[in-house]
Amino acid sequence: MEPNTINSPKKSNRSTIIIIVLLIINIVQGVKIYLDSGEKAQLTTEKINTEQDLASTMQRLNDVKAELDQKIADIQKLGGNIADLEKAKAEVEKELRRSTQRSAKAVKELKDRLDGYEQLLKLKDEEIEKLKSVNKELFTENKTLKNKQNKLSDSINVLSKNKEELAGKVAIASQLKAENISVKAVNSKGKERESPFKNRQLQKIKVEFNLAENKVAPIEGKKILIRVIDENGQVIFDVAKGSGTFLLNGKEEFYTAAQEILFDNTKQRLIFFYEKGTEYAEGNYTVEIFTDSYKIGSVSFTVK
């Protein structure tokens, strides 16, 4: 009976130790499970926070891109330098094209860059205001200069118009005038008769006049023309006898006879003889005198 009594306490101690070990293992496993679940929950929370932070940052990034586009357009319109804005825009577009899966560290770095972009935009607001002020001053100066140029142009136009008007007046004032005009019939014996004429008395016609004094007219060469016109408006001419054409009111017309003279403002006397070679039809005739395509006098005669 004694051996059995001795083994019983040993068995009891071993069982107690086993129970204690099992309890410790359970406790450790429980602690590990708790810690694992806590860490997993923390990681899940951090991931959610990172995704939310990234979404918010990406929205800010899109807003910054829109502001960059606007600032680039404004400064370019005002004539400013947009190189730094173009560079920032390229960086923003590159970030927007990247994957949306980023670590918390990468999101923080992106947010830091965003702060820099937003600071750049604030600086550009100040630059835009300065450019607007400069452009306003330039616009005012240009407007003032333009007004001066317009006034100068108006003055030049007025002067030019006055000059043209004066030139026109001088041209009119300098026109020659025939005075003391007479037309006579000359027969074969050289005898002269006053109008009306008979054909037997009319071998030649003689047109005589002097050029009136004109202190405005320059001393220069002149071509003096006469036109003998019948009552039907037809000009009597013969190219073989010195007749020709000239421009009158932009149209080519015939003249009967011509002389080239030096106008010397001495009331010089001019005489034209014209021999028709055939009889004149009965009727009324007009002799017109021209120089430089304008009429300086006229006289009439009648053939019976």
Same domain, yes or no: 77 and 192: no
How many domains would you assign to the chain? 2
Q: What pLDDT was estimated at residue 214?
A: 93
Q: Report d(CA 304, CA 302) in Å as an integer.
A: 7
Same domain, yes or no: 116 and 203: no
Residue entry with tokens 């980023």: 102
Q: At what angle do helices 83-97 and 104-173 cross, to 10 degrees?
A: 140
Is 171 domain-assigned?
no
Residues 6 or more apart in contact with residue 289 via CB below 8 angstroms: 178, 181, 207, 209, 224, 225, 226, 295, 296, 297, 298
Q: Report d(CA 255, CA 272) in Å as an integer.
A: 13
Structure tokens given for 50: 């990172």
Q: What pLDDT was estimated at residue 206?
A: 97
Is 166 domain-assigned?
no
Q: What pLDDT was estimated at residue 156?
A: 82
Note whether 267 and 211 are within 8 A (CB): yes
Same domain, yes or no: 122 and 203: no
Q: Angle 198-201-205 (CA atoms, 0-180°, nearest 5)?
A: 95
Q: What pLDDT was estimated at residue 166?
A: 62
Residue 279 pLDDT greater than 60, yes or no: yes
More confident residue, 186 or 151: 186
Structure tokens given for 139: 């616009």
What integer is the mean pLDDT of 205-232? 95
- Looking at residue 89, its amino acid is K
Q: What pLDDT was estimated at residue 183?
A: 97
Residue entry with tokens 């050029």: 211
| pLDDT tens-digit readout, 221-230 | 999 999 999 9
The kind and range of the H/E element at 299 are strand 294-303
% of the chain surpassing 90 pLDDT: 41
CB-based burial label for 156 (10 Å; 0-12, 13-18, 19+): exposed
Same domain, yes or no: 118 and 30: yes
| pLDDT tens-digit readout, 9-28 | 666 777 788 888 888 887 87
Where is average pLDDT lowest: 33-47, 59-73, 94-108, 233-247? 33-47
Q: What pLDDT was estimated at residue 93?
A: 82
Is 144 domain-assigned?
no
Same domain, yes or no: 191 and 270: yes
Same domain, yes or no: 42 and 105: yes
Where is average pLDDT lowest: 148-152, 173-177, 248-252? 148-152
Q: What pLDDT was estimated at residue 208?
A: 97
Same domain, yes or no: 271 and 191: yes
| pLDDT tens-digit readout, 234-273 | 999 999 999 999 999 999 999 999 999 999 999 999 999 9
Is 44 domain-assigned?
yes
Same domain, yes or no: 219 and 279: yes
Residue 74 pLDDT greater than 80, yes or no: yes
Same domain, yes or no: 202 and 294: yes
Residue 68's nearest CA partner among 13, 111, 8, 128 is 128
Q: Report d(CA 71, CA 55) in Å as an integer.
A: 24
CATH code (residue 183):
2.60.40.10
Same domain, yes or no: 297 and 223: yes
Is 173 domain-assigned?
no
Q: Report d(CA 42, CA 223) in Å as an integer.
A: 118
Is 21 domain-assigned?
yes
Which residues constitute the domain of residue 188?
178-303
| Rg (the chain; Cα; Å) | 59
Structure tokens given for 27: 């406790």
| pLDDT tens-digit readout, 18-58 | 888 888 887 877 777 766 666 665 556 666 666 777 777 87
Residue 1 pLDDT greater than 50, yes or no: no
Is 78 domain-assigned?
yes
More confident residue, 87 or 164: 87
Same domain, yes or no: 117 and 39: yes
Chain mean position to CA 54: 52
Edge to edge, what strands does the sheet with 204-211 contain? 192-194, 178-186, 204-211, 269-274
Is 197 domain-assigned?
yes
Q: What pLDDT was estimated at residue 12?
A: 73
Where is average pLDDT lowest: 64-68, 101-105, 190-194? 101-105
Same domain, yes or no: 187 and 299: yes
- Please give the full DSSP string across 150-186, using - where no structure is assigned: HHHHHHHHHHHHHHHHHHHHHHHHT---EEEEEEEEE
Q: Report d(CA 113, CA 142) in Å as an integer.
A: 42
